[in-house]
Every structure is written in structure tokens, then in C-alpha cells.
Structure 1
Amino acid sequence: MILILSSDDDVHAHHVMQHIAQRGHSATLLNLADFPKDAHLIFEAGQPSSRRLMQYRGQTIDLSKVSSVWWRRPQPYGMNPDVTDPVLDHFAIREVDEAIQGLWLTLDADWINVPGRDQDASRKAWQLDVARAVGLTMPRTLITTDPDAARAFVAKEGVDRTIYKPFQGSEDAWRETRLLKAEELDKIDAVKYAPVIFQEYIEATCDLRVTVVGDQIFAAAIDSQKAAYRVDFRMDMNVTITPTTLAPETVAGIRKLMKALDLTYGAIDFRRRPNGEEVFLEINPAGQWLFVEDQTGQSISKAVADCLIDRARTDNIPRLTHPLLNTIPGPQPAPAVRSDQTVAAR
């Protein structure tokens, strides 16, 4: 059984489900925004045949039969509005998260991506450090809450030669990557309120979106320098996107990066300098790809569907070693779920 954890309006999930259906398989989409308000969990422990059920929208999902899971974009839990006391509401959220995160660890399934690895890989500081370690070229970067350190970095890079950006955006507080202007220097003390990412500005002939699905690498060139806003192509999606070929050293670095981060899927952004050098910017373990697929014809949706199907077992033979335990280096047991490893987008 294939399980997809995402939202009802996720067009990427629905595209993949169509490809799964075309291959004669089926997938179930589970929206955690329904839980626990409009869904119920039944989890029995203590023996292999114990029930792991989710009663959801008039159906019962037998989670013990799940063998392939896509951790696409899980939504925040839908808490019951009857709980109005903030203290009790916080307690309930923690209890829900503990139960659900523990449940995922019990599934005898392959994940795209393993939840903890997915969330770790989305951390900008970590992914930048790993990218450097595997040999990818990357911009000079400063993450700081110190105004003096920020001013020193800008002085070295130069005004109009420094970009700044947030760690992550949300629908109600989304911020694009911006080029620092001279008139913004008097606002730099604001970094003391929350850390900011500063980087050298990379002159480019184009941006690159590299989508990795298992062993497949789909590289596309985005003609961002002809867009209305050349710093961040997301501000003007009326751009030409074409398939491209990456330098061998970039491909090698990408494979090392995916292995080091323990990811099956990732959407990676690069910039290609005028001299051809490809500079790593960031990786999104749940990044979008349809805007690339629509223009390039690259079969990314099919690749994701194939990967989920190939990982879904039709037998009921349990694995000798739990797949999540296989990802933990060394002899130590599986670590407890950290308090910050909550559902994505919370």
C-alpha cells in the first residue's frame, strides 16, 4: 500500500497519484489537518498482529499494510476547537505529535523521505555545511543575529553585492531573496530580533533547478536573468525553462549531497556563473517541480510515482531490520524524536 502525507489541494500529489493509477496501482492521501478533530487513531502494541488503523473520511486505513510512504508536505494537525484553554491545547498538540511521530517509526515501510532526515535536510545551516563538505561550490555565507557581524560582512562583500533571505517562508510571512540596498543599511540592527542569512551575490547567466528522484537527476536551466526580478526567479515565473546538462563535478557533488543527507527526493537550486561554474544555493526536500515539468517535458512526476511503486512491497513478509533503523549510523538504538521534529509547516 502506498501512503501520501500531504494536503488535499497539493497538485503535485495528485499528478503522482494519476501516474500511480496508470500503472495499475493505488495510493491513499492522508491529510493530517483532519487529525485528531475529524479522524481517529487506533494503535495496538505488543504483538506483530496489533492493529494500526486510521479512521478517516468514512474509510479505515490499515497502516500495517503500508509499505511505501511519500512524506510530501504534511499539514499541521487539526486540533479540536472545543479545547480553548491554551495550556491544555498545547498539551494536546504535544500528545498528538508524540503519538503520530511514534506511529511513523513503527511502519514497516520505505519513505520518500524519512521524516527526520527530511526535516534535518531542510535546515539551512546544516545543508550548507554538508554541501561544502561534499565539495559543491557555494556562496560566502553569514548567519547572524549580531548587527556588527552583519555590517562587517556587507562591508566586505559590498552593498548591492550582498543578498539576504529568511530560513523559510510561510503563506502569511513569505519573503523573497533580496539584494541589499544602501538605504537598508540603517535597518541592519533588526537582525538582533531573529537570525538572517547573508550571502555574496552570484552573477549568473541562469538559475538551475535540479530535481533528484532516487538515482535520476533532472536538470533545468531557468532564464532568470531576463525576468523582471533577476535576484529571485520566483518573483516572475514568466520565464523560459529548458533541460540542461550539468558539469560532471556538480553531478558528483549532488550524489554525495543526497547520500550525506540521506534523501531520496530533493529539489536543488544552483546559479550558473558566466564562466560556467555552478554554485549551490539550497536544497528543498519537498520542493515543487511541476513548473519545470510543464515547460521541459521532463518526466519527474512519473519518476516519483515509479519510485513509490518500486518501493511498495506486494508481499507481507516483514523486514528483518526496520528501514528507519537502517538509517541510523553506528550501533546505537534509534534516537527519541526531538521536540523540534514536529510535522512540517507547523
Structure 2
Amino acid sequence: MPIPATITTNDPEEAWKFYISHGSKVVYKTLSDGLLASGKDPWDRQFVLGEVYTTPLENYKRTDFEEVVNCPCLFQEYIPKEIEIRVTIVKDQVFTAEIHSQESPATIYDWRRGGDLNNIIHRIHRLPSDISEKCISLVERLGLNFGAIDMILTPSGEYVFLEINPNGQYGWIEVRTGLNISEAIAKALVDGGKE
């Protein structure tokens, strides 16, 4: 599957060269949960200052990248989306949902940014069989029984792989689409990896 050009770096020069080489069509993503917090306990909501979502880097100058030296940053080539796709793999089962993030200006770059998940259309999606097989194969190659894969379906109909999370959230997908992921996980746990 196609994968956008991606780097993780804390070298300002490397980040700048990546940005320029992609015609300034680059997004920044956090490497962790993306919470900005103060105080000793970042999970105490009174200390949370905000969240960092996938952010487009538009009209940046070289000096804007100087702060990259302070911590590793993930930069990725921006790929236009028709819809976002969440593929949840449980062993050899594939559960796929569409997230219609492009219908609101607030959620174009990151569907989580809109603040009201109930206003974003979610639908069950049928992946082409070759893409489903590639997703299952990836999870198996990584030695996992579960994987939450984020993809994009481009306006031209191409599936583009973004990332895989070995413990990605799925509860909201069940609520919004009726896909029964929890039952598949429970069965996989009960079976204990037996075929």
C-alpha cells in the first residue's frame, strides 16, 4: 500500500529539508498522546491545557523549525482525503469504518479536532479484498492479534496507509457503526490463540 513520506527527527535542518522537498505540504503529528498539561499529574483534567492534533504546516520559514531540537517530532507528507478509514484487525477478522472528516473545515486534518464526534458521519466500509489481506498480513508480521490501522481513501480512490496502533481505541467505532469488535476480541482471548 502507498505510504506518505514520513520522518521522525529532532534535527531542525532535516525537518526543514523535508518540508521544502514536499512543497510545504506537510503535517506534524505527535509521537505520544498529544496532551499539553501542567502540574504533576497530566491525567488530572484540571491540568490539561489542550491537545495537539495532526497539524498542517503552512507558510513556515526555516526559523520556525528551530524548536524541533527540543524533542523528536513526526512530520508526514500531506495526502488529500476523500474519507478517513479505521481498519480494526482482530486475528483474521477485518472491521472497517469510514470517518467522513472532510465534511467540516474543523476536521479536515484530524477528525478528533471537531469536538463533537456525533456530528461526524461514520459508516461501515468494505475494503477491497487485497487491501484486507495486506492489513491482516501486517498485523501477523508484527506478531500481533490486534491492530488499529489508520488509512486514507484519496479522492482518486487510492487507499493510503498512515499508521498502525497495537492498542488503538475501537469503542466509538462500535457505537457509531454497530461493528462487533468487542465480541471478536473476547473470542480471541477465550480461544487463547488456538485455531
Name the residue aligned to 1:230.
108
| Aligned-pair identity (%) | 36
1:142 to 2:7 alignment: yes
In structure 1, distance between residues paired with 2:157 and 2:16:
30
In structure 2, distance between residues paired with 1:162 and 1:170:
18
In structure 1, distance between residues paired with 2:81 and 2:130:
18
1:200 to 2:89 alignment: no
Q: Amino acid of the residue matched to residue 305 of structure 1?
A: A
1:164 to 2:42 alignment: no
SS of corresponding position for 2:107: coil
Residues 12-45 of structure 1, C-alpha deviations (whole Å, 9 max, x = no match) = xxxxxxxxxxxxxxxxxxxxxxxxxxxxxxxxxx
Distance 1:139 1:303, change over 3 A: same
In structure 1, distance between residues paired with 2:2 and 2:142:
17
Give the alignment of 1:298-309 within 5 angstroms.
298-309=179-190
Deviation at 1:185, TM superposition (A): 5.0
Larger Rg: 1
Name the residue aligned to 2:152.
271
Residues 281-339 of structure 1, C-alpha deviations (whole Å, 9 max, x = no match) = 111111111111111111111111121122299xxxxxxxxxxxxxxxxxxxxxxxxxx
In structure 1, distance between residues paired with 2:121 and 2:62:
34
Q: What's the TM-score, normalizing by structure 1? A: 0.48
Name the residue aligned to 1:178.
55
Deviation at 1:246, TM superposition (A): 1.2
In structure 1, distance between residues paired with 2:140 and 2:30:
26
CA RMSD after TM alignment: 1.9
SS of corresponding position for 1:281: strand
Residues 210-240 of structure 1, C-alpha deviations (whole Å, 9 max, x = no match) = 1111111001110010132210111122301
Name the residue aligned to 1:188.
65
SS of corresponding position for 1:280: strand
**Cα contact 2:36–2:52 (8 A) shared by 1:** no
Deviation at 1:249, TM superposition (A): 2.8
Residues 78-133 of structure 1, C-alpha deviations (whole Å, 9 max, x = no match) = xxxxxxxxxxxxxxxxxxxxxxxxxxxxxxxxxxxxxxxxxxxxxxxxxxxxxxxx
Name the residue aligned to 1:297.
178
Distance 1:312 1:215, change over 3 A: closer
**Cα contact 2:6–2:74 (8 A) shared by 1:** yes
Residues 161-211 of structure 1, C-alpha deviations (whole Å, 9 max, x = no match) = 110112111545542111002157532111111111111101010000011
Deviation at 1:277, TM superposition (A): 1.0
Q: Which runs of 5+ in 2 are unaligned?
A: 38-50
Name the residue aligned to 1:68.
none
SS of corresponding position for 1:182: coil
Name the residue aligned to 1:251.
132
Residues 238-280 of structure 1, C-alpha deviations (whole Å, 9 max, x = no match) = 3011001112332122122111100001111001111111111
Name the residue aligned to 1:15.
none
Distance 1:148 1:172, change over 3 A: closer
In structure 1, distance between residues paired with 2:56 and 2:63:
15
After the TM superposition, which segments of 4 or more aligned residues of structure 1 sit over 6 Å from their partners?
A: none
Q: What's the TM-score, normalizing by structure 2? A: 0.84
1:216 to 2:80 alignment: no
Count of residues in Structure 1 that have an aligned counterpart in Structure 2: 177
